Amino acid sequence: MAALTGLLVYCGVGVTGGWLGYKLKIPAGPLVFAMVAVILSKLLIKAQWPLPRNFGFVAQIMLGVMVGAGFQRSILQVLHLFIFPILTSTLVLVAVGILLSLLFAHTGIMNISTAYLGTNPGAMTAMTVMAMGNQANATVVVCFHFFRVVFVILTAPFILKYLA
C-alpha cells in the first residue's frame, strides 16, 4: 500500500511540476520541472515512500514505446544525407564517455555502470531508466544529465550568437 501511495504522491507532484515547466515554455521543461518538483517535495516533506517493485520495468517499457512511436519514415530520408557527421559525433561522444567512465571507476569515484550512463550522451529519461535496471546509481546519473541539459540550455544562446 505504501508503494501505491508513493507512486500517487510522486505522480501528482511530478505532473504539477511538469505542467509548470510546459507552461513556462522552457526546453525540456516538463521533464526538468517534474523532477525538481518531486525532489523539492521530498526535501520539504522529509518523507520518502517506496515505489512499486516493478516500476523500473514498466518505465523501461513505456520509454521504449515512446522512442519507437517517435520514429518516422522521414528519419530514413534524411539519415543518408548526414550519416557521416551523425556517426562521427556519436562515436566521438561515446568514446569520450567510455574514457571518462573508466577514469571515474578506476579512481573509485563511482562504479562503472553509473559512470558510463552518466557520461555518455543520451536522453536523461532513457539513461535514468537504464540506471534503475543496471546496478547504477540513478540519482548520480540524473545529476550528470540534469547538469548537462541545464548547462546547454543556459549557454546555447550565447554560443550560437558567437558562432553566427
Q: For residues 5-33, give the mean pLDDT.
A: 87
Is pLDDT larger for residue 7 or for residue 3?
Answer: 7
Domain residue extents for the chain: 1-53, 72-164
**Does residue 97 surpass a pLDDT of 80?**
yes
**Does residue 84 surpass a pLDDT of 90?**
yes
Is pLDDT larger for residue 88 or for residue 47?
Answer: 88
Which 3 state secondary structure label does DSSP give 4? helix
8-state DSSP, 109: S
Most confident of 22-31, 50-59, 101-110: 101-110
Q: Per-residue confidence at 36, pLDDT binned at 50, 70, 90?
A: confident
> Over pLDDT 70: what percentage of the chain?
99
Radius of gyration of the chain (CA): 18
pLDDT of 6 reads 81
Residue 129 in grid coordinates: 531508466
Among positive and negative, which fits the CA dihedral 58, 59, 63, 64? Answer: negative
> The whole model's pTM is what?
0.65
pLDDT of 155 reads 84
28 CB-side CA count, 13 A:
17
pLDDT of 1 reads 58
Dist. CA 31–CA 18, nearest whole Å:
6
Q: Which residues contact 3 (CB under 8 A, 6 or more apart)?
A: 49, 50, 51, 52, 53
Q: 122, 83, 87, 84: which is closest to 101 by C-alpha?
A: 122
When the pLDDT of each residue in the chain is averaged and rounded to a whole number, the result is 87
pLDDT 10s digits, 116-149: 999 998 877 788 888 887 889 988 998 898 888 8
